[in-house]
Amino acid sequence: MTLSQNDQKKLLAVKAASFVEYGMLLGLGTGSTVDIFISTLGEKFGSLKDLEIVPTSLDSAHKASKLGIKVLEPKMDLKPDLLIDGADEVASDLSMIKGGGGALLWEKIVAQNSKKRIYMADSTKLVRELGHFLLPIEVVLFGHEWTHNDLKKIFSFVSIRKTGAGEILKTNSGNVIYDCQITDGIEIGVLDTDLCQIPGVNNISAKTVLEKFGNMFTLMSEIRKDVQCLNGIMVESKGKTRKLAKNVIQNIVHYLGA
Ligand code: 5RP
């Protein structure tokens, strides 16, 4: 039996919610999987007023506060215990594209400052190599058309993201987003270096999407029990060693049926 994408998201959300304990400070991601996760939290805890989150977007902040969850600003001594977020594309080497919902910069900042991270990716997000999904790059508004020229030297297709009404979309930090087609076979590390040479590219956001989560470990074996008919993965990062990451990669390759 194949589960629908929505049912997969629900399953991943329930699993992710099982890692949340009352009184935790959560980093709250952005997107439809996270939306399902938020309602799952409601089902798990009933009242959410003792949960606190640092949001990765104004949208998530708004949704959380509507449910009575306390929304906190990032502060010097405040480190989320756990970030829960979705993903747009996850490759078998664990490189990942995020930012489909336009929240990539805040997502990266919260992820980097969280003690643990869990990404919920249903089977439609899993690929052998990145590049089916256009790579979002957050670009500083000033001079963005010059930055567009620079991006065109690297990518085969570059398009500024617009709202439904046809306006240029501005991120929560007032930047713009260019969605870019990754060329086949390109080395992610090289791409990362090239992007960091472009002054208008927000380096942090570029890294968000290109970061190889070399220090990840997965909850795969546990997940597999729960979601046998699901190719979804959920990955948690916790500063583990490279050696561990290698096992993870093998696991995932195996799980993808390679
Ligand atoms: C938002 C993101 C989302 O996590 C990503 O787009 C996945 O979204 P969804 O859960 O709706 O598929 O990166 O910027």
Instruction: Look at residue 92 in the predicted model and tell me its pLDDT.
Output: 66
pLDDT at 70: 94
Distance 257 CA to ligand 1 centre (A): 25
Catalytic residue set? 107
Atom 8 of ligand 1: nearest residue by CA position: 31
Per-residue confidence band for 243, with pLDDT thresholds at 50, 70 and 90: very low
128: left (phi over 0), alpha (psi -120 to 50) or beta: alpha
**pLDDT above 70 for 215:** no
pLDDT at 93: 63
Global confidence as pTM: 0.81
Q: Which residues line ligand 1 (CB under 6 A)?
A: 29-33, 85-88, 98-104, 107
In 62-165, beta strands by DSSP E: 70-71, 82-86, 89-91, 96-97, 117-121, 126-127, 135-139, 157-160
The atom of ligand 1 lying closest to the CA of 29 is 4
Instruction: Write the pLDDT tens digit of every residue in 129-141.
Output: 778 889 888 899 9
Pair of tokens at residue 175 = 């930047």
Q: How many whole angstroms from 167 Cα to the centroid of ligand 1?
A: 21
- Residue 228 is predicted with a pLDDT of 31
164-188 pLDDT per residue, tens: 999 999 999 999 999 999 887 777 7
pLDDT tens digit sequence for 67-110: 899 999 999 999 999 888 888 887 766 667 888 999 988 988 88
pLDDT at 121: 81
Any residues with CB less than 8 A from the CB of 92 and at least 6 apart, and which? 126, 127, 128, 129, 249, 252, 253, 256, 258
Band of pLDDT at residue 44, cut at 50, 70 and 90? confident
Q: Of the residues 98, 108, 171, which should be mutated to test ligand 1's pocket, given the most ligand atoms within 8 Å of the CB? A: 98
More confident residue, 87 or 57: 57
Q: Which atom of ligand 1 is nearest to the CA of 120?
A: 10
Nearest-CA residue for ligand 1 atom 6 is: 100
As a whole-number percent, the residues of the chain with pLDDT over 70 amount to 76
Determine the pLDDT at residue 229.
29
